[in-house]
Amino acid sequence: MDESVQQAEITLTDALRIRYQYLIDPVGAFLNRLGIAPNTLTISGLVGNSIGAYFLARGSFLVGGLILLSMGAIDALDGTMARLRGEPSDFGAFVDSVTDRYSELVIYAGLLFYAMKELNLTLAMLVFAATAGSILVSYVRARAQSLGYEAKGGVLTRFERFVVLVPSLIFGYPWIGVALIGILANITALQRIISVRQQAHKG
């Protein structure tokens, strides 16, 4: 793969982690000194997101959104902690990735429960579209990597989905967030499919 393709595959999440490493590293080092394992922090993020989803299911979007916002900080730390320990592992990355998917799914489940409770078919379908797009974005990347290709780019990766959804919850307009994700996440999946096709033709 040529250098231009590699540069194109750098996501906003990657760029932010590099840009703010000087802030994240000291926090990660402090948590390591406390004896907290990176995988423990990863699982605690899933638990926190599940609590946030519970409030979303009840229609408490402000509380749920603020909880999800606080969980975003945890998501940035587990990988940093493993790196600072000198023990980043494939299994740790696997646990982190799977937990991220569960976190997204439980959040959408909370929103779907709320939509069904309120008999809001439009919101329910938007949540379905957002869920499908989010899962497809991850699946396309994983499937591409299993075949030796790279598919990290696109207009709406996981961090961008977080940035879109959380403010819409905090300000009480969840349908805006899930509508944007439903459209843009599916576009992202298509972008990754096209990228893999281009790589396959070059190969």
Domains along the sequence of the chain with CATH: 3-202 (1.20.120.1760)
- Per-residue pLDDT at 33 exceeds 80: yes
Query: What pLDDT score does 187 carry?
Result: 97
- Per-residue pLDDT at 54 exceeds 80: yes
For residues 49-60, one letter each, b for 16 or more C-beta atoms within 10 angstroms of the residue's C-beta and e for the rest, the string is bbbbbbbbbeeb
> Taking the CA of residue 172 as centre, how many other CA atoms within 13 Å lie in the half-sphere pointing to its CB?
1
Residue 100 bears catalytic tag: yes
Helix or strand or coil: residue 141? helix
- pLDDT band for position 190 (50/70/90)? very high
Select which of 75, 78, 96, 100 is catalytic. 100
Helix or strand or coil: residue 2? coil
What does the alpha-carbon distance between residue 77 and residue 35 come to, in Å, rounded to a whole number?
Answer: 14
- Per-residue pLDDT at 3 exceeds 60: no
